[in-house]
Amino acid sequence: MSIQEIVSILTSAGIEQREAVQEVKMLIEHFCNYGAKDIIMGKPLDYEKLKIVKNKAEHRAKTREPIQYIIGKAYFMGNYYKVTPDVLIPRDETEIVVDHALDIIKDNNLKNVLDIGTGSGCIACTIKLKTNTNVVGIDISKNALKIAKENTLSHHAQVDYIQSDLFSNLSKDTKFDLIISNPPYIPIGTELQREVQFEPKTALFTSEKTGCEFYKKIIEHGKDYLNDGGYIVFELGINESELVKTYFKSNGYTQITVIKDLAGIDRVISAQIQ
């Protein structure tokens, strides 16, 4: 049994060749305790270890469970985060959102940050690790917060996590300089790719057709929790920038900035309250 044969288990299930090679590498690194260097150098793998990798590849091919759930971790901005089906798998696009927030935080010397819908805690943790800020992460899901806390501990970051449906459990005396959120933004009824069906529905879907329910709520109520001149930074779903812009404008926010992702999709929006 060769590594090539294992790759072909994935490609025959419709996974693209380059992705399949990447995933087999991830399986080997994780289950055989192999470094990327060992793979490049062609360090031999014994049969037993290869068999584990083959079984995992077969499971992936059959079920299409995301590779990150199979190995239990996902890479995000320089660190690995524990992930289970209780939390969304961090996406590359989200790195653009966090980069933009980091720029705003550093340029304006901001101190207090709120991450709404923290999930695995990847955003909250990254901001804490890269800036001198106080970070609070909230999520409606207790199970997600358990994972977020584990991630924060393992990265020696210090984030305060609160179980809260949006702002419901936050005291109005608590004010922030920046609110960041990658909220659920997929309109209800949208057909999902097979892999995405493993992810928590509450992290993905909005209950209405525009996909903009959470942006609207956060923009409206966020004003009560932002210091004067405070910022909101969102990750956007496809075709959602125009509607979100109108919510910002009608609620008195200015300095609206939109950033595209590598596919040319409006992916990040930020604005400032006066």
Instruction: State how far the Cα of 197 lies from the Cα of 66, in Å rounded to an integer.
Output: 9
In angstroms, the CA 190 to CA 154 distance is 36
203 binds ligand GLN (CB under 6 A): yes
| 123 is a contact residue toward ligand GLN (CB under 6 A) | yes
* Interaction of residue 182 with ligand GLN, rule CB under 6 A: yes
Identity of the residue, 49 or 221, whose beta carbon is nearer to ligand GLN in the bound complex: 221
Q: Quick one: 3 or 88, whose CB is closer to ligand GLN? A: 88
3-state SS assignment for residue 224: helix
Does residue 178 interact with ligand GLN by CB under 6 A? no
CA-to-CA dists, residue 112 to 144, 155, 253, angstroms: 22, 20, 19
Instruction: Tell me the closest approach of the beta carbon of residue 83 to ligand GLN, in angstroms.
Output: 9
For residue 119, state whether it binds ligand GLN (rule: CB under 6 A): yes
Decide: is 170 part of the binding site for ligand GLN (CB under 6 A).
no
Stretch that binds ligand GLN, among 30-38, 179-187, 239-247, 258-266 (CB under 6 A): 179-187
Helix or strand or coil: residue 255?
strand
- Tell me the site size for ligand GLN, rule CB under 6 A: 13
Q: Is the dihedral of CA 205, 208, 211, 214 positive or negative?
A: negative
Measured from the CB of residue 137, what is the shortest distance to ligand GLN in angstroms?
A: 8
Between CA 271 and CA 249 the distance in angstroms is 9
From the list 23-31, 38-46, 120-128, 171-179, the region that binds ligand GLN by CB under 6 A is 120-128
| C-alpha–C-alpha distance, residues 158 and 31, integer Å | 30
94 binds ligand GLN (CB under 6 A): yes
HEC string of 189-200? CCCCCCHHHHCC
Q: Using CB under 6 A, which of 24, 67, 86, 117 touches ligand GLN?
A: 117
CA dist 170 → 73, 114, 234 (Å): 30, 11, 20
CB of 134 to ligand GLN, least distance (A): 18
If the CB atoms of residues 9 and 125 are measured against ligand GLN, the closer one turns out to be 125
Task: Please tell me whether residue 184 binds ligand GLN under the rule CB under 6 A.
Answer: yes
Shortest Å, Cβ 36 to ligand GLN = 24
First-to-last alpha carbon distance for the chain, in angstroms, is 64
Residue 43 CA to residue 36 CA, distance in Å, equals: 10
Q: Which of 205, 168, 220 is nearest to 88 (CA)?
A: 205
> Does the footprint of ligand GLN cover residue 90 (CB under 6 A)?
yes
Q: Where on the chain is the footprint of ligand GLN (CB under 6 A)?
A: 88, 90, 94, 117-120, 122-123, 182-184, 203
